Amino acid sequence: MNRRSSVKKIMAVAGTGILTPQLDFLKNLLPDSKKAAAPSPFYLFTKALQWLPLEQVPETVKSLGFDGVDLPVRKNGFFNTDEIKQKLPIIVRKSETLGLKRPVLTTEMNLNQMADMDEFLRTISGEGITDYRMGYLPFTTKNIIKELKSLNASMKQLAELHKKHGVTGHYQNHAGTRIGGSVWEIYHLLKDINPDHIGVQFDLRHASVEGYQSYENVFHMISDQIRSFDLKDYVWGKVDNKGDRPINVPYGEGNVKFELLQEHPGFMGSLPKILHCEYDLGGAEHGHKHPTMSKEAILSAIAKDVKVYKTAKYK
């Protein structure tokens, strides 16, 4: 099956809500929506769907049982911020027509893009978008606390701009030496900032890896600042004989203790819960436009994650 034919058949599923014979197996992977009572809104980080045409993403996301789209708007995403006025309305209108929530965005926007920030926030707020993930900030010195205090002052000014437009920026805890590899760094970066202006996108997978035995402490420490949650999983394993390293696996198959998130009222309430599919999907997990895994297999894997999430036990 060539790529064009495969995509057409997939979109027959997404657009009509009816499973074609070629993808009939999906109906056995998706839970009964009438019986599933998982916390919502539930979004898909659509980096793993960048092999699809932009206008077909909302239908696919809906067909997989999600409530909304988390759209990469950055270099190597679906499009960059310089095209946002032309292309963002496509996703917003499609989502609206399908009854999906307003999209959330994943961007590179932060202090380093201050010259463009006011117009960016005006544009997305004009489309009814109130939440986006910010870009990461690097450390430029080894004086960590001093630099974070300086950046905190700048972030307070940036928060005022978010307040002006009614938009919440989300800074994600991640990995490595950029600001946010340690959740403590985000605590200092956003100290005394209203989290409804700039808050935290809490990633329990990264918090568990970077703070292997203390991640519960940082979760409780940062709890009041959390405004969204990333959902992904990992196990420890040896890669290329380089010693133990975290290896991404499907949701619910690894070490992440997702039940911890249920202690947060926003997780059980209205804050966005965003599924990331970062395990092997033939390159789709990296945003590749031409993954080596079949499109059916990619959608099947995501559908399995959805089923695990929606059939889990919740308080």
pLDDT of residue 115: 95
pTM across the whole model: 0.91
The count of domains in the chain is 1
Structure confidence at residue 232 (pLDDT): 98
pLDDT of 5 reads 44
User: Measured in Å, how far apart are the chain's first and last C-alpha atoms?
Assistant: 44
Please write the tens of the pLDDT for every residue from 4-54: 444 444 444 444 443 433 445 566 777 776 666 899 999 999 999 999 999
* Residues 249, 235 contacting (CB under 8 angstroms): yes
What is the SS3 assignment for 90? helix
For residue 73, give its domain range: 3-28+37-311
Residues of the chain with pLDDT under 70: 1-27, 33-36
CATH code, 276? 3.20.20.150
Query: Which of 5, 32, 7 has its CA nearest to residue 311?
Result: 32
- Please report which residue ranges of 27-143 form alpha helices under DSSP H: 57-63, 84-98, 114-126
Q: How many Cβ atoms sit within 10 Å of the Cβ of residue 59?
A: 23
What pLDDT shows up at residue 20?
A: 36
Are 216 and 260 contacting, i.e. CB atoms less than 8 angstroms apart?
A: yes
Tokens 């929606």: give the residue: 310
Element (H, E) at 231: strand 226-231
